[in-house]
Amino acid sequence: MRTSRALDPAVFAEARARGLSPMMARVIAGRIGAETDLDVLLEPRLSNIPPPNVLADIEPALARLVQAITNREPIGILTDYDADGLTSHAVLNHALVRFGVSAEQISHWIGHRLEEGYGISPLLVDRILESTTRPTLLISADCGSSDEAQIARLKAEGIDVVVTDHHRVADTGPPASAFAVVNPNRADCAYPDKAIAGCMVSWLVMSALRGRLVEAKLIASDTAKLGDLLDYVALGTVADCVSLGASEINRAVVRAGLKYIAQAARPCWAVALQKLTRSERDVSASLLAFQIAPRLNARGRIDHSMRGFEFLVAETTDAASAAYADLDRDNFTRRQIEKQMVEHAKPLAERQALRHTKTVVVAIEDGHAGVQGIVASRLVEATGRPAIVLTPGLHENTLTGSMRSIPGVDAKALLDAVAVATPEVLIRYGGHVGACGMTIVRDQLKTFHAGLETAFESQYPESPAHVRYLTDGTLLAEDFQLDRVEALDCIAPFGRGFEEPLFEGVFEVIRATVIGGDGTHLRLRLKTEQAEVDAVWFGSQPSGQPAAAMAGDWLDCVYHLTINTYRGLEVSLTIRHGEVITEGMQHV
């Protein structure tokens, strides 16, 4: 169920030589290898971002954008409906307006997740072509790399498409009908960092466009650069779960963006921070990942996600507050739907795991397509296996789904293998290492799962253990001191590829109190050696059931170290998983 991370001894030794505590050195050495410069973690610099002119197709993309701006053409922005797409949309919109494009020239296109599907979908293209605000140039972000058929339709109607994206490109290459495809994951792209999010690709293209417009004397040389848009890039980067480990770009932009967000200069951040934080130290990657991004994503799961874009670009706090209220309400609805689907899907997934499958694939006939990915993540946690959750598709005899993977297993590579072996099963798919989306033929569900199992066994003959939790080991009493925990901020931000530290230990329960409106959480006072610490265990028991732990119990748990700002600054634990030990412990 859990195992301690393997440590790179060279990284551990260097971290200790630099004066970092054993706890911090262990956290770092469990996440990067000696090939990664430690300064990438400790001192990531925006000045080290490779220039955008290294990106393949950047020249034709810039030329077409300059032409459209010069000729005052109608320009459309088309992005995905998740947080990466919405932040990309905000970056593109703000940049174009800064470069002199009027708001009336810009049209906004975001697919409806439930009605139109992902990316540059057929139904979204229908809507564009039928619109009275049809653009002559369409710039996409966070999508488009797998949408040749629809880009060809747009081209035939006189609409040029410039794709900016970061998702895997098909082996056959980027869409041939696109005017340009700027994507660091193209096989012919020399850009050194393949782990950047879609919003970062958009930011790079717009930064290059600013330089080109200045060179052409189409905008003033003192036109503001785009550093102030890194707040959006930070949010999209964290939300899209791209690597925060060896990617200096991602670490640098998240750090810089968090500083802008903490200033609350935009109405959206002023509102979000007022609602979600108690102090400036609460402004962290965790705030973006677990508070702000879910609210943006929830709108796209429940309704049309344009409201999320409106929140990000709101010009007044009143407008931002109204949009936030809508997003917050949708997030509550999303949680209720998610809870119901997890209760349905989890037993089905666990039954498959008992049959020793390498993956789990669950189809829910009355499921909600908007929470497939979240539910799949819960199934990964429950089974330690890559998981796919499917619900009825937009078209007859189809299922659409989302896949979430485990460390060391490439989700996109598995689907690539299934597509090659059984091309009649997979209608459409796309994504990256950790997450993918797909549409399959409904009556081929068993064939699809069998193909996924075959692909897994072929690519991973030495099957990885079904580990739910990778921990950073146990802590000493002195590690629970405030200064030790605060020092972990020096190696933030945490996220995919550089996960938040997770520790394990056995504690005596001094006090346990059921909390929460539905009585499903526990507040605990725990003791280990000579240290006592408060803890919260969210979702520890079904509503109305006896407490999962009580005073006098010994609790074996995995947990995050946090700093509670409610009553000043106090070290606290957030328990991810716990089990009461019934034998072999004694009170001391």
CATH number of 191's domain: 3.90.1640.30
Last residue of a domain, one of 430, 459, 488: 459
Q: What is the pLDDT of residue 587?
A: 45
Q: Are residues 188 and 125 in the same domain?
A: yes
Q: What is the pLDDT of residue 73?
A: 97
115 and 237 share one domain: yes
Spatial separation of the C-alpha atoms in residues 90 and 234, rounded to whole Å: 12
194 inside domain: yes
Residue 310 parent element (H or E): helix 306-312
Residues 258 and 130 in one domain: yes
Query: What is the model's pLDDT at position 585?
Result: 53
Residue 73 within any structural domain of the chain: yes
Residues 6+ apart with CB under 8 A from 236: 83, 84, 85, 86, 87, 88, 142, 197, 198, 199, 200
Give the global pTM: 0.86
Would 316 be classed as within a structural domain?
no
| Any domain includes 491 | yes
**CATH number for the domain harbouring residue 502:** 2.40.50.460
Do residues 433 and 500 share a domain? no
Same domain, 137 and 54: yes
Residue 114 lies in a domain: yes
Looking at the fold, whether 390 and 487 belong to one and the same domain comes out as no
pLDDT the model gives residue 341: 94
Looking at 407, 427, 459, the residue that finishes a domain is: 459
Is residue 233 situated within a structural domain? yes
The domain that contains 362 carries what CATH number? Answer: 3.10.310.30
CB 92 within 8 A of CB 139: yes
The parent domain of residue 213 ranges over 48-262
Please tell me the total count of domains within the chain: 3
480 and 381 part of one domain: no
436 and 484 in one domain? no
439 and 405 in one domain?
Answer: yes
Q: Are residues 405 and 517 in the same domain?
A: no
- Same domain (yes/no): 150, 75: yes
Nearest Cα neighbor of 485 from 29, 41, 27, 33 is 27
CA 416 vs. chain centroid, Å, equals 22
Residues 70 and 212 both lie in one domain: yes
- Where among 213, 237, 262 does a domain terminate? 262
* Full 3-state SS string of 211-274: HHHHHCCCCCCCCCCCHHHHHHHHHHHHHCCCCCCCCHHHHHHHHHHHHHHHCCCCHHHHHHHH
Q: What is the pLDDT along the chain (588 residues), one digit of tens a residue?
A: 688 899 999 999 999 999 999 999 999 999 999 998 999 889 999 999 999 999 999 999 999 999 999 999 999 999 988 999 999 999 999 999 999 999 999 999 998 877 877 789 999 999 999 999 999 999 999 999 989 999 999 999 999 999 999 988 877 899 999 999 999 999 999 999 999 999 999 999 999 999 999 999 999 999 999 999 999 999 999 998 778 888 999 999 999 999 999 999 999 999 999 999 988 888 999 899 989 999 998 888 777 889 999 999 999 999 999 999 999 999 999 889 998 999 999 999 999 999 999 999 999 999 988 889 889 999 998 898 999 999 999 889 999 999 999 878 899 999 999 999 999 999 988 877 888 999 999 999 999 999 999 999 999 988 766 667 889 999 988 899 889 898 888 888 988 888 899 999 999 999 999 888 777 889 999 998 778 899 999 888 766 677 788 899 999 999 999 888 766 678 999 999 899 987 555 544
